């Protein structure tokens, strides 16, 4: 299960992942497997762009049986179908829960700046200090 915002507080971690979509959650899986301390910061909810920036009529161009994330594959009853935007939200959200990703939702990143041998990630809920940053916010975000 993803950790709730009230249980995570700004502080120091090895890596800050910005965004809670499929790419950042896949990175979360890899970081966790390697024992690297990290947090995932998301300005909205998990799969926020799919929730708020996609038309309801959108369908994936690949069949459901091809939909997978590290350690997690499509589990529905229509492997030859094509997921709608809402089904993609459900898939990504289920993966976040399945992987126990430490996601801090409703946290807007306002600045990333060098800080000694790492970075300071400023948010509207406090600052994070880290050695590395993964930016996984999609191509059209700042």
CATH number of the domain where residue 23 is located = 3.50.50.60
Element at 115 (helix H, strand E): strand 109-115
Mean pLDDT of the chain: 89
Q: How confident is the model at residue 57 (pLDDT cuts 50, 70, 90)?
A: confident
pLDDT of residue 54: 76
pLDDT of residue 92: 93
User: At what angle are helices 22-33 and 85-99 packed, to 10 degrees?
Assistant: 20
- Residue 140 counted as domain residue: no
**Whether pLDDT at 118 is above 70:** yes
**Whether pLDDT at 3 is above 50:** no
**Whether pLDDT at 142 is above 60:** no
- Averaged over 64-78, what is the pLDDT? 94
- Residue 38 counted as domain residue: yes
DSSP 3-state of 66: helix
pTM: 0.86
**Whether pLDDT at 8 is above 70:** no
pLDDT of residue 124: 95
How many domains are contained in the chain? 1
pLDDT of residue 95: 95
- Averaged over 2-25, what is the pLDDT? 78
- Residue 141 counted as domain residue: no
DSSP state of 83: -
Which of 95-99, 113-117, 135-139 has the least mean pLDDT? 135-139
- Residue 142 counted as domain residue: no
What range defines the domain where residue 112 resides?
A: 5-135
> The tokens 């959108």 sit on which residue?
58
């Amino acid at each position: 299960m993803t950790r709730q915002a009230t249980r995570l507080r700004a502080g120091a971690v090895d890596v800050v992942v910005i965004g809670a979509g499929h790419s950042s959650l896949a990175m979360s899986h890899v970081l966790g497997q390697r024992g690297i301390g990290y947090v995932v910061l998301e300005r909205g909810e998990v799969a926020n762009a799919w929730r708020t920036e996609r038309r309801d009529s959108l369908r994936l161009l690949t069949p459901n049986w091809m939909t997978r994330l590290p350690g997690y594959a499509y589990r529905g009853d229509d492997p030859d179908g094509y997921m709608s935007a809402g089904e993609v939200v459900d898939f990504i959200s289920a993966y976040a829960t399945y992987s126990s990703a430490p996601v801090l939702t409703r946290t807007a990143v306002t600045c990333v700046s060098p800080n000694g041998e790492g970075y300071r990630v400023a948010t509207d809920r406090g600052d994070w200090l880290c050695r590395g940053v993964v930016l996984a916010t999609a191509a059209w975000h700042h």
